Amino acid sequence: MFWKFDLNTTSHVDKLLDKEDVTLQELMDEDDILQECKAQNRKLLDFLCQQHCMEELVTLITHEPPLDMDEKVRFK
């Protein structure tokens, strides 16, 4: 018996990137964001290299998150 495999599956990250109003926060909440970066997902890398994303990433790295922020996002 032959099994059918769909090797052209689109990741959830790619689906998010297809939205015209996707935010960095939405992407950062995805569990497979690091795997997509490691796989050199071109759409994701192009999005992350945009000026506004780079500025937001630097801010996220260099500033403490607000205390009232949801713990899941705060310590992710």
Using the predicted structure, report yes or no on whether residue 71 has a pLDDT greater than 60: yes
- The rounded distance, in Å, linking the Cα atoms of 58 and 4 is 44
First to last CA, the chain: 43
The answer to whether the predicted template modeling score (pTM) of the entire model surpasses 0.85 is no
Q: Secondary structure of the chain: what % helix, strand, coil (to 5)?
A: 55, 0, 45
pLDDT for the residue numbered 4: 62
pLDDT for the residue numbered 32: 93
CA dihedral 42, 45, 51, 54 (to 10 degrees): 180
pLDDT for the residue numbered 74: 59
Give the tens place of pLDDT for each residue, 1-28. Answer: 556 655 556 789 999 999 999 999 999 9
- The rounded distance, in Å, linking the Cα atoms of 75 and 51 is 24
Please choose, from the candidates 40, 39, 8, 14, the residue with its C-alpha nearest in 3D space to the C-alpha of residue 26.
Answer: 14
